[in-house]
Amino acid sequence: MRPDLFEAPDYYLLDELLTDEHKLVRDATRDWVKRDVSPIIEDYAQKAEFPTQIVQGLAEIGAFGPYIPTEYGGAGLDQISYGLMMQEIERGDSGVRSTCSVQSSLVMYPIYAYGNEEQRQKYLPKLASGEWLGSFGLTEPNFGSNPGGMVTNFKDMGDHYLLNGAKMWISNAPFCHVAVVWAKNEEGRIHGLIVERGMEGFTTPETHNKWSLRASATGELVFDNVKVPKENLLPNKSGLGAPLGCLDSARYGIAWGAIGAAMDCYDTALRYSKERVQFDRPIGGFQLQQKKLAEMITEITKAQLLTFRLGQLKNEGRATTAQISMAKRNNVDMALTIARDARQMLGGMGITGDYPIMRHMMNLESVVTYEGTHDIHLLITGMDVTGIPAFK
């Protein structure tokens, strides 16, 4: 890939609304991405391999548990800093941001919010330091958009639980040390269990042949009579609302992350449009190309404003699930449209790994599907404004 010359667009001077801490976190993450992600990411995406060497760096910049209190090893930052971090990391690659989302919002968050003190002390510092990586098992082969139908289950055997079932499409599964797994008890109530690698009957086969998120490892979590110690059940919340509560936090991070991918595509296309000459003038001088660039910066700016306000609401504990859905859906769709237009602006060069656009575009096909599909988020908004659920 060519040198990373990224310059972030800030058309409405949003920087003026950020605190010094926000800017420090954002700039440190941006520098780290330029130094440690951009030079290697294309190669890893082409090889379909997760770059394990960046795990330590992610931990050092605070990307594992940005908003988890420092007493548990987290960075103790606010929600806007968390969002800016996700934006910068996804500017590098959605797969790398995925690893952070899973670790922070889908593994550390439920242990912090639904776990007891012993569980927090045992797992959170190791996850924050990157010594352990986690995964989150909600989706099953027959239950994706409808996780409430899950069939993975556990039985109370007196001194332990016996876990059976399978989860599919699980980020980080192939190498995770621990998995937060959602399963039904004998009464059909959903609970979270912490399953550790090495427990007999627990396997994590990798999912191959993905055209998207190639630098992120995806796999299954398979439970064949796994004996889970009773102390590994998350005691403080149960029901479908427990995993959905984690999704609120991860979807919020994705709303910011998608802006990063869009900014990278826009910035690349803008630079290219000034350099590439056809018919004796830079292609950026043609109205059709200017239309694309003007629409891109307009949509990025709208997404930045939407997300910044959402961050303020999240800091105040007032952001609703439906508001988060709107931002996730809008921003990922916006990024995907920009990636497709930016790719066209680069002509044939747009399909090569010399530029990041095609990789972003393919990654975003997963981002628009996971954490609730584009259509499910529309239905969440529809339900919120009408009061009538249209899922079933």
Residue from the set 113, 297, 376, 383 that interacts with ligand FAD by CB under 6 A: 376
Q: Which helix (H) or strand (E) holds 178?
A: strand 178-184
Contacts of 50 (CB under 8 A, 6+ apart): 44, 95, 99, 175, 215, 216, 217
Ramachandran region, residue 239 (left: φ > 0; alpha: ψ -120 to 50; beta: rest): left
Q: For ligand FAD, which is the closer residue by CB, 80 or 250?
A: 250
Is residue 171 at the binding interface for ligand FAD, with CB under 6 A as the rule? yes
3-class DSSP state of 261? helix
CA separation, residue 283 to residues 96, 107, 292, 331, 368 (Å): 33, 46, 12, 27, 30
Least gap, CB of 304 to ligand FAD (angstroms): 26
Least gap, CB of 137 to ligand TGC (angstroms): 9
Least gap, CB of 360 to ligand TGC (angstroms): 15
Residues 213-272 interacting with ligand FAD (rule: CB under 6 A): 213, 218
Q: Which helix (H) or strand (E) holds 311?
A: helix 287-315
Is residue 170 at the binding interface for ligand FAD, with CB under 6 A as the rule? yes
Q: Which does 245 bind (CB under 5 to 8 A by kind): ligand TGC, ligand FAD, none?
A: ligand TGC
Q: What is the dihedral of CA 336, 341, 345, 349, to 10 degrees?
A: 40
Least gap, CB of 390 to ligand FAD (angstroms): 7
What values do phi and psi take at 129, rounded to 5? -85, -5
Degrees (nearest 5) of the Cα angle 31, 86, 241?
A: 160
Q: Which does 161 bind (CB under 5 to 8 A by kind): ligand FAD, ligand TGC, none?
A: none
Is residue 391 at the binding interface for ligand FAD, with CB under 6 A as the rule? yes
Is residue 375 at the binding interface for ligand FAD, with CB under 6 A as the rule? yes
Site residues for ligand TGC per CB under 6 A: 98, 101-102, 136, 138-139, 145, 147-148, 171, 239-241, 244-245, 247-248, 250, 321, 370-372, 376, 380, 389, 391
| Residue from 88, 90, 140, 371 carrying the catalytic annotation | 371
Q: Which does 73 bind (CB under 5 to 8 A by kind): ligand FAD, ligand TGC, none?
A: none
For 115-152, b/e burial (b = at least 16 CB within 10 A) is beeebbebbbbbbbebebbbbbbbbbeebbeebeebeb
Least gap, CB of 106 to ligand FAD (angstroms): 7
Q: Which does 244 bind (CB under 5 to 8 A by kind): ligand TGC, ligand FAD, none?
A: ligand TGC
Q: Which does 369 bind (CB under 5 to 8 A by kind): ligand TGC, ligand FAD, none?
A: ligand FAD
Please state the length of the chain.
Answer: 392
Q: Which part of the chain contacts ligand FAD (CB under 6 A), choosing from 12-20, 255-263, 322-330, 372-380?
A: 372-380
Direct distance between the N- and C-terminal alpha carbons of the chain, in angstroms, rounded to an integer: 46
**Known catalytic membership, residue 371:** yes
Residue from the set 138, 255, 346, 361 that interacts with ligand FAD by CB under 6 A: 138
Gap between the Cα atoms of 261 and 276, Å rounded: 22
Q: Which part of the chain contacts ligand FAD (CB under 6 A), choosing from 5-13, 58-66, 251-259, 365-373?
A: 365-373
Q: How does DSSP assign 23-76, residue by residue?
A: HHHHHHHHHHIIIIIHHHHHHHHHHT---GGGHHHHHHTT-SSTTS-GGGT---
Binding site for ligand FAD (CB under 6 A): 102, 136-139, 144-145, 169-171, 213, 218, 366, 369-371, 373, 375-376, 379, 391
The residues assigned a catalytic role are 371
